[in-house]
């Protein structure tokens, strides 16, 4: 009984610290009971984790049921509570989707903190078939049609090739206790609607439908992997906190790949593809929200995909700037550290983001600060212009402009750190005190 699951456990979980995600329901209790037998044989370490979603009146009782079971069997128990309805109202996502994100974040925390090597969930073959159908109905590509993986990102699904009926038989044969979630029968939730209304009717006509759907998912996964390996490596890259896709390559598979690199591995639907395809035809600077916390922006020949919140620079700030006789100093800004030092001849050329300037030509009252409305800049060897126009000419993406660090005096930018020095403090043959200014490569400072 459960031979497929046992083979997967012995392949992926032996000698590891396994966190079993347990709701108290029939499937998860079967998983916990099976893993207990391996724990008792000292083949793996085991703890149980539970999420109390704050949705149902009886959810606290279910968590206590799991806690008591673990106490009786000497299993470490970790419970994390959430107010999913409140989080859902704040994010605008449905409660089902919000709960999914919360659990996934919790499981990632367990692995990143070292509490567990892998998190085992009780998803089985029917769950996988439901997932494929849900993705299909919402409009998806090969990634969505691939369904779930047995092992992906630290999530381990030992029941994925096991039929629901086999799990029920195991529970009955081994007298495994469990509780019933009353919301499982509520078809207001999309998954429950597929589970109770759609799949049963399909099975009436096609008894092997679930198995066939899971096999098709495996074929889709193989096809997706085949295509991904043959994507043009020059078409997509990661830079400045974003995934950049050249416009000429904007197509479904490349869009899926860009989202995948940002950690969105399955919830990419036709609406996302359509949004990006429309964005391609928009003006430079246009932006769209792709969901899953991802934004896309049309940027000078490319579409930039990035996480929501990563385009916003620090709030308006400034740090006093002055140099000692040695010209060596370190400045702490909200964005990065800035360092200066005396330059040795030859002073030119500026390279790798290091700028040289005539320290004697600096006016009094200089500061390091963020970009502000009305700033002007005199490029090296050119006339003065609005800083915004200069940045547009240099094709600096809008999402990055507010994170630039300026050396400025009043509304005059004397240097855009990492980019260019102003003609007003340029080094000449007569310069005697030449300083180098550059950004530190370390992490941003508070």
On whether both 267 and 349 belong to a single domain, the answer is no
On whether both 75 and 139 belong to a single domain, the answer is yes
Comparing 245 with 264, the larger pLDDT belongs to: 245
Q: Span 385-413, mean pLDDT?
A: 91
Q: Span 130-138, mean pLDDT?
A: 91
Residue 166 reports pLDDT greater than 50: yes
* Predicted pLDDT at 320: 94
On whether both 367 and 288 belong to a single domain, the answer is no
Residue 64 reports pLDDT greater than 60: yes
Confidence of residue 85 (pLDDT cuts 50, 70, 90): confident
Domain annotation covers residue 313: no
* Predicted pLDDT at 441: 64
* Residue 365 φ/ψ, nearest 5 degrees: 85, 20
Confidence of residue 313 (pLDDT cuts 50, 70, 90): low
* Predicted pLDDT at 339: 93
* Predicted pLDDT at 73: 96
**Domain extent for 291:** 236-307
Supply 98's token pair: 């919000």
* Of 21-35, 338-352, 419-433, minimum mean pLDDT range: 338-352
Range picked from 16-25, 146-155, 266-275, 433-442 for highest mean pLDDT:
16-25
Which of 307, 337, 369 corresponds to the end of one domain? 307
- Per residue in 1-45, pLDDT (tens digit) is 899 999 999 999 999 999 999 999 999 999 999 999 999 999 999
* CA dist., res. 366 & res. 359, Å (int): 11
On whether both 127 and 176 belong to a single domain, the answer is yes
Domain annotation covers residue 16: yes
- Per residue in 361-398, pLDDT (tens digit) is 999 999 999 999 999 999 977 789 999 999 998 888 88
* Of 24-28, 347-351, 413-417, minimum mean pLDDT range: 347-351
Q: Span 215-233, mean pLDDT?
A: 91
On whether both 162 and 29 belong to a single domain, the answer is yes
CATH number for position 14: 3.40.50.620
Residue labelled with tokens 């700037």: 321
Domain annotation covers residue 231: no
Domain annotation covers residue 312: no
Please state, for a pLDDT cut of 90, what percent of the chain lies above it: 59
Confidence of residue 446 (pLDDT cuts 50, 70, 90): very low
On whether both 118 and 199 belong to a single domain, the answer is yes
Comparing 411 with 94, the larger pLDDT belongs to: 411
Domain annotation covers residue 445: no
Residue 348 reports pLDDT greater than 70: no
Residue 195 reports pLDDT greater than 60: yes
- Per residue in 68-82, pLDDT (tens digit) is 999 999 999 999 988
* Number of structural domains found in the chain: 3
Domain annotation covers residue 375: yes
On whether both 359 and 391 belong to a single domain, the answer is yes
SS (H, E, C) the chain: CCHHHHHHHHHHCCCCEEEEECCCCHHHHHHHHHHHHHHHCCCCEEEEEEEECCCCCCHHHHHHHHHHHHHHHCCEEEEEECCHHHHHHHHCCCHHHHHHHHHHHHHHHHHHCCCCCEEECCCCHHHHHHHHHHHHHHCECHHHHCCCCCEECCEECCCCCCCHHHHHHHHHHCCCCCCCCHHHHCCCCHHHHHHHHHHHHHHHHCCCHHHHHHHHHHHHHHHHHHHHCCCCCCCEEEECCEEEEEHHHCCHHHHHHHHHHCCCCCCCEHHHHHHHHHHHCCCCCCEEEEECCEEEEEECCEEEEEECCCCCCCCCCEEECCCCCCCCEEEECCCCEEEEEECCCCCCCCECCEEEEEHHHCCCCCEEECCCCCCEECECCCCCEEHHHHHHHCCCCHHHHCCCCEEEECCEEEEECCCEEEHHHCCCCCCCCEEEEEECCCCCCC
On whether both 259 and 366 belong to a single domain, the answer is no
CATH number for position 246: 3.30.465
* Of 154-163, 253-262, 437-446, minimum mean pLDDT range: 437-446
On whether both 125 and 245 belong to a single domain, the answer is no
CA angle 197, 202, 208 (to 5 degrees): 135
Domain annotation covers residue 444: no
Which residue from 299, 405, 292 is spatially nearest to 355, judged by alpha carbons?
Answer: 405
* Predicted pLDDT at 10: 96
Please state, for a pLDDT cut of 70, what percent of the chain lies above it: 94
Domain annotation covers residue 83: yes
Range picked from 51-65, 86-100, 255-269, 281-295 for highest mean pLDDT:
281-295
Average pLDDT, the chain: 89
Residue labelled with tokens 């403090």: 425
On whether both 221 and 274 belong to a single domain, the answer is no
Confidence of residue 126 (pLDDT cuts 50, 70, 90): very high
Which of 163, 195, 226 corresponds to the end of one domain? 226
| Cβ within 8 Å of residue 281, ≥6 positions away | none
On whether both 14 and 137 belong to a single domain, the answer is yes
Range picked from 100-109, 158-167, 277-286, 288-297 for highest mean pLDDT:
158-167
Confidence of residue 444 (pLDDT cuts 50, 70, 90): very low
On whether both 83 and 200 belong to a single domain, the answer is yes
Which of 174, 208, 226 corresponds to the end of one domain? 226
* Predicted pLDDT at 442: 53
Q: Span 46-61, mean pLDDT?
A: 84
């Amino acid at each position: 009984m459960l031979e497929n699951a046992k083979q997967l456990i012995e392949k992926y979980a032996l000698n590891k610290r396994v966190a079993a995600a347990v709701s108290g329901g029939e499937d998860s209790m079967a998983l916990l009971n099976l893993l207990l037998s391996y724990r008792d044989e000292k083949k793996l370490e085991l703890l149980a984790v539970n999420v109390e979603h704050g949705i149902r009146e009886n959810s606290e009782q279910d968590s206590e049921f799991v806690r008591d079971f673990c106490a009786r069997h000497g299993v470490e128990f970790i419970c994390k509570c959430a107010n999913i309805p409140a989080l859902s109202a704040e994010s605008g996502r449905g409660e089902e989707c919000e709960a999914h994100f919360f659990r996934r974040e919790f499981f990632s925390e367990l692995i990143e903190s070292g509490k567990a090597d892998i998190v085992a969930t009780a998803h089985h073959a029917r769950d996988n078939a439901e997932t494929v159908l849900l993705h299909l109905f919402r409009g998806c590509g090969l990634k969505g049609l691939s369904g779930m993986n047995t092992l992906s990102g630290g999530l381990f699904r030992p029941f994925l090739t096991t039929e629901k009926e086999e799990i029920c038989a195991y529970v009955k044969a081994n007298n495994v206790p469990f509780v019933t979630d009353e919301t499982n029968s509520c078809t207001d939730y999309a998954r429950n609607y597929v589970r109770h209304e759609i799949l049963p009717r399909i099975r009436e006509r096609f008894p092997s439908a679930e198995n066939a759907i899971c096999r098709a998912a495996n074929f889709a996964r193989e096809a997706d992997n085949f295509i991904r390996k043959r994507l043009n490596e020059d078409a997509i890259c990661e830079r400045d906190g974003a995934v950049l896709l050249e416009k000429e390559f904007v197509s479904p598979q490349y869009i899926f790949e860009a989202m995948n690199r940002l950690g969105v591995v399955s919830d990419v639907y036709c609406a996302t593809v359509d949004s990006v395809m429309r964005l391609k035809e928009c003006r430079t600077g246009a932006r769209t929200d792709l969901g899953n916390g991802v934004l896309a922006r049309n940027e000078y020949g490319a579409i930039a995909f990035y996480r929501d919140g990563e385009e916003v620079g620090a709030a308006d700030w400034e740090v006093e700037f002055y140099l000692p006789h040695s010209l060596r100093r370190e400045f702490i800004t909200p964005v990065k550290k800035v360092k200066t030092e005396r330059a040795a001849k030859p002073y030119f050329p500026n390279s790798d983001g290091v700028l040289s300037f005539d320290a004697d030509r600096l006016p009094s009252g200089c500061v390091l600060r963020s970009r502000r409305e009305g700033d002007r800049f005199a490029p090296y060897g050119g006339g003065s212009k609005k800083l915004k126009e200069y940045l547009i000419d240099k094709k600096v993406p809008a999402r990055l402009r507010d994170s630039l660090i300026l050396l400025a005096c009043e509304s005059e930018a004397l240097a855009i750190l990492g980019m260019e020095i102003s003609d007003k403090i340029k080094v000449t043959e007569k310069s005697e005190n030449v300083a180098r200014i550059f950004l530190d490569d370390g992490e941003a400072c508070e």
